[in-house]
Amino acid sequence: MKRLNIAAGNWKMNKNYEEGVDLAKAITAHEVKDSHTMVILGTPFIHLKTAVEVAKANPNVKIAAQNCHQLTKGAYTGETSVDMIRSVGAEFVILGHSERRAYFAENNELLAQKVNTVLAADLRPIFCCGEALEIREAGTHIEFVAQQLKESLFHLDGAAFAKVVIAYEPIWAIGTGVTASPTQAQEMHNEIRQLISDKYGADIANATSILYGGSVKPANAKEIFGQQDVDGGLVGGASLKANDFIQIIDSF
Ligand code: PEP
């Protein structure tokens, strides 16, 4: 089975409601050329319901939340549950973004709980992993990412794991303008696929979409997406401009 190519936008804490609706409309209006490509918009919670409505016009476009709480309900002021996310029709939740790990103290153990909660709600996690610059410079990046996957995902059974999308996002490349070279991306993606294969077998490994994230833009998307084990991108800055993101969608 050919695995899906995915262009996922992570809007982070950008766009007021009106701006977000306009962006979702502009992207949804674009006809995706390759029917094997899925477009995902990771919007703030405020935009989710409308984004789902807008995306109904284009079967290739799906909507993601950027986070959720690990518990399903209760006295957690300011938090958002998987049931709330599911109830507005979003299908994905971005988990473990490096900004959540750095600014909100999310660790591998907490993320394992969030992964379970997301899957139990019949949502799909886009699970982010990736190393800081010091770790890359020390040459231990592969072991570091392997540990993130083992501690947050590899407790799942094969059927559950098959619903996960992975996003490899080296922290030194996020929002910095520095992109991992296509060779660096391919090396890590290949290692990740091998780890999945060792744990779950080749069929599941070959069906898993592994996205690259870190300063993807129209000028570099084609080369990065052209790598054998790179199945698309999780895109921050360039997903905020409709024309840039559309060019990225058309880079497969
Ligand atoms: C991200 O936030 O997931 C990301 C990759 O950001 P940027 O594309 O801006 O580097």
Per-residue pLDDT reduced to its tens digit, 180-204: 999 999 999 999 999 999 999 999 9
Residues 124-175: tens digit of each pLDDT:
999 999 999 999 999 999 999 999 999 999 999 999 999 999 999 999 999 8
The token pair at 46 is 């405020």
* pLDDT over 90, % of the chain: 95
The residue whose CB lies within 8 Å of the most ligand 1 atoms, and thus the one to mutate among 43, 128, 174, is: 174
Best CA proximity match to 236, nearest among 220, 209, 215: 215
Judge if the beta carbon of residue 178 lies within 6 A of ligand 1.
Answer: no
Residue 29 has pLDDT above 80, yes or no: yes
Question: Are the beta carbons of 76 and 102 closer than 8 angstroms?
Answer: no
d(CA 124, CA 211): 14
Residue 152 makes CB contacts below 8 A (sequence gap 6+) with 96, 108, 109, 111, 112, 115, 127
Q: Check residue 34 and give its pLDDT.
A: 83
Domain residues for the domain of 23 are 5-249
The residue whose CB lies within 8 Å of the most ligand 1 atoms, and thus the one to mutate among 66, 127, 169, 230, is: 169
Residue 1 has pLDDT above 70, yes or no: no
Best CA proximity match to 44, nearest among 73, 19, 7: 19
Question: Are the beta carbons of 127 and 115 closer than 8 angstroms?
Answer: yes
- CATH code where residue 166 lies: 3.20.20.70
Q: Check residue 46 and give its pLDDT.
A: 98
d(CA 160, CA 139): 31
Spacing, Cα 215 to ligand 1 middle (Å): 6
Number of domains in the chain: 1
d(CA 32, CA 61): 9
Q: Check residue 2 and give its pLDDT.
A: 74
d(CA 225, CA 7): 10
Residues 49-107: tens digit of each pLDDT:
999 999 999 999 999 999 999 999 999 999 999 999 999 999 999 999 999 999 999 99
Nearest atom in ligand 1 to 233's CA? 5
Residues 216-242: tens digit of each pLDDT:
999 999 999 999 999 999 999 999 999
